[in-house]
Amino acid sequence: EHIMSKDVIIACDFSSKEEVMNFLDKFQEEKPFLKIGMELFYAEGPEIVREIKKRGHKIFLDLKLHDIPNTVKKSMAVLSRLDVDMCNLHAAGSSKMMEAAIEGLTKPDGTRNTMLIAVTQLTSTTEEVMQEDLLIEKPLPEVVMHYAANAKKAGLDGVVCSPLEAAIVHEKCGDEFMTVTPGIRFAGADAQDQKRITTPEDARTKGSDFIVVGRPITKAEDPQAAYERCIREFLGE
């Protein structure tokens, strides 16, 4: 239904319309798939989504919803009207919350145009943080896989995870269950604050469906060239 082909998603981590539009003006013919996160959304509101969509980009709206099921359902119903291609929530909100989210995203005619992806554990959460700060005592990979299975059962389309986990997610949840993977760096580049990184090519061999790439493109001397390099390496074209 809403199966999309593998792609590179640029994380537009900017805090104003001016900055994001300046960035987008650097692309000529191409219309990259873009991720809009909380920073830009909270700064500019839903209008920025409409405007960027109007320019012909696919959009992953990364707002990571996490609230009681009824609130998430109603919020997803509102977001469904933006007709973005992908949005997400925290699996930690429970299976009930995820089911409610799917209901909310489904239009009155029964169709759903927006893929829904779950965040399992944030990559900033280490096993130590999870166990000692959050009192979740199981091993981190077990928690990630359990949350992924919950997401699948609730009818979601995939999870955000590390490319290093993509193969095992596919093994457990099937090939159609999407893996959206950040933490991408070109070979030899600075990892910055990312801990476990892979190159676009590694992500491809590990079975990622979408790579989310921020600074390696947004901070590049030539963003268009960096984007094209990602596409080449990830899609093997």
Residues at the site binding ligand C5P, with contacts judged by CB under 6 A? 11, 13, 37, 122-123, 160, 182-184, 194, 212-216
Distance separating alpha carbons of residues 156 and 177, to the nearest angstrom: 8
Residue facing ligand C5P at closest CB distance: 214
Nearest approach in angstroms of CB 52 to ligand C5P is 15
Nearer to ligand C5P, 75 or 88 (CB): 88
Is 138 a residue of the active site?
Answer: no
Helix 69-80 vs helix 95-105: crossing angle, to nearest 10: 30
Cα separation, 19 vs 118, in Å, equals 28
76 vs 213, which CB is nearer to ligand C5P? 213
Best CA proximity match to 177, nearest among 209, 200, 212, 154: 209
**Residue 99 or 165: which CB sits closer to ligand C5P?**
165
Closest distance of CB 38 from ligand C5P, Å: 9
Write down the catalytic residue from 64, 96, 107, 153. 64
Asked whether the beta carbons of 119 and 91 are under 8 A apart, the reply is yes
Q: What is the 3-state secondary structure (H, E, C) of 146-184?
A: HHHHHHHHCCCCEEECCHHHHHHHHHHHCCCCEEEECCE
Instruction: Closer to ligand C5P by CB, 11 or 105: give it.
Output: 11
Q: Minimum CB separation from ligand C5P for residue 62, in Å?
A: 7
Catalytic amino acids?
A: 64
